[in-house]
Amino acid sequence: MKICVIGLGLLGGSFALGVRNTLDDVEIIGVDKNPEHSQKALELGIIDKIMTMEDAVPQATIAVIATPVNIIEYQLPFVLDLISPMGVVIDLGSTKGNICKAAEDHPKRARYVATHPIAGTENSGPESAFKGLFRNKTMIICDREKSDPIAYQFIKSIFKDLDMQVSYMDSVEHDKHIAYVSHLSHISSFALGATVLDMEKSEKSIFAMAGSGFSSTVRLAKSSPAMWAPIFEQNAENISEALGSYIEHLKSFKEIIDNKDMEKSTQVMNRVNDIRRVLKGIDIKS
């Protein structure tokens, strides 16, 4: 089976390495506008050959678009144009609303399955890809009623073979929820990094005191701007709402601190400790 992977970064590369392990006789054709990435992916055994999108997609059983979300939105109609009548197109983007809209009126819409793997690290590029990235993670499939049932089942079985849990969601609802449980985390981390780096200008030795708690909250600030700027742009309304609510919570916490109100801060923290229940569910998966 020929699989064409467009975008040879962390996600595209890890998908390629994953299916190499689970599918028989797979040939991975790599497409990337950055020749260094393609060359590196070839050297690392992520892909078997490099081709242009125009040459690769028509011969592929699956075309996987793993570029930044604004590029996916732009590429998806072209890839659908190119895909063979029995081929399937998927994307691995972290937003789904605009991307699904870009395929909405395409005559081959049924050949597209909208997917979002809840998996990633703060690293990017082909060197960061590894075959276990998707293991025990959740794969969200959006608007499945718009995909051909066989195409959809086929893609689902490929994810299940990667040891993923598949769940379903409306693409609009997806974008709203993911703003809270992923996109907001990234912004909180980037802003935290910015705050402390600012402080470092006057207090040089500030990071001598940073430990694992700091590291954990700021880790996502290492993430790739090329990937995240388009996510923030595409999901701006939902993120703005989530971020607005986050800022309100912080302002109210600041007021509690300014009043040195230990009773109130204890109350708030006790309530939020309920996050243990939530994290238990997530940590089982990872």
Interface of this chain with its own copies, residues 243 to 282, rule: CB under 8 A: 243-247, 249-251, 253-254, 256-258, 260, 262, 265-266, 268-276, 278-279, 281-282
Q: Smallest distance from the beta carbon of 160 to its own copies, in angstroms?
A: 17
Reduced to 3 states (helix: H, G, I; strand: E, B; else coil), residue 145 is helix
Report whether 239 contacts 183 (CB < 8 A).
yes
Which of the residues 144 through 173 are near its own copies (CB under 8 A)? 167, 169
Q: Which residues pair with 3 in a beta bridge?
A: 28, 62
179: Cβ–Cβ under 8 A, 6 or more apart, which residues? Answer: 235, 238, 239, 241, 242
> Which region among 1-9, 50-58, 144-152, 187-195 touches its own copies (by CB under 8 A)?
187-195
Q: Smallest distance from the beta carbon of 240 to its own copies, in angstroms?
A: 5
Measured from the CB atom, is 48 or 127 closer to its own copies?
127
> Which region among 4-12, 50-58, 98-106, 202-210 touches its own copies (by CB under 8 A)?
202-210
Q: Smallest distance from the beta carbon of 204 to its own copies, in angstroms?
A: 10
The pairing of beta strand 49-50 with beta strand 62-65: unpaired
Measured from the CB atom, is 59 or 265 closer to its own copies?
265
256: Cβ–Cβ under 8 A, 6 or more apart, which residues? Answer: 264, 265, 268
Query: Dihedral sign, CA of 154, 158, 163, 168?
Result: negative
Q: Which residues pair with 114 in a beta bridge?
A: 91, 142
Reduced to 3 states (helix: H, G, I; strand: E, B; else coil), residue 154 is helix
Q: Smallest distance from the beta carbon of 162 to its own copies, in angstroms?
A: 15
- Rg, Å, the chain Cα set: 21
Measured from the CB atom, is 38 or 175 closer to its own copies?
175
Residue 176 near its own copies by CB under 8 A: yes
Measured from the CB atom, is 86 or 181 closer to its own copies?
181
Measured from the CB atom, is 98 or 147 closer to its own copies?
98
Starting at the edge strand found earlier in the chain, the sheet holding 165-169 runs: 49-50, 27-31, 2-6, 62-65, 88-91, 112-118, 138-142, 165-169
Which of the residues 209 through 228 are near its own copies (CB under 8 A)? 209-223, 225-226, 228
Measured from the CB atom, is 4 or 178 closer to its own copies?
178
Residue 203 near its own copies by CB under 8 A: yes
Which of the residues 47 through 106 are near its own copies (CB under 8 A)? 70
Which of the residues 101 through 130 are near its own copies (CB under 8 A)? 118-122
- φ, ψ at 116 (rounded to 5°): -140, 105
Residue 182 near its own copies by CB under 8 A: yes
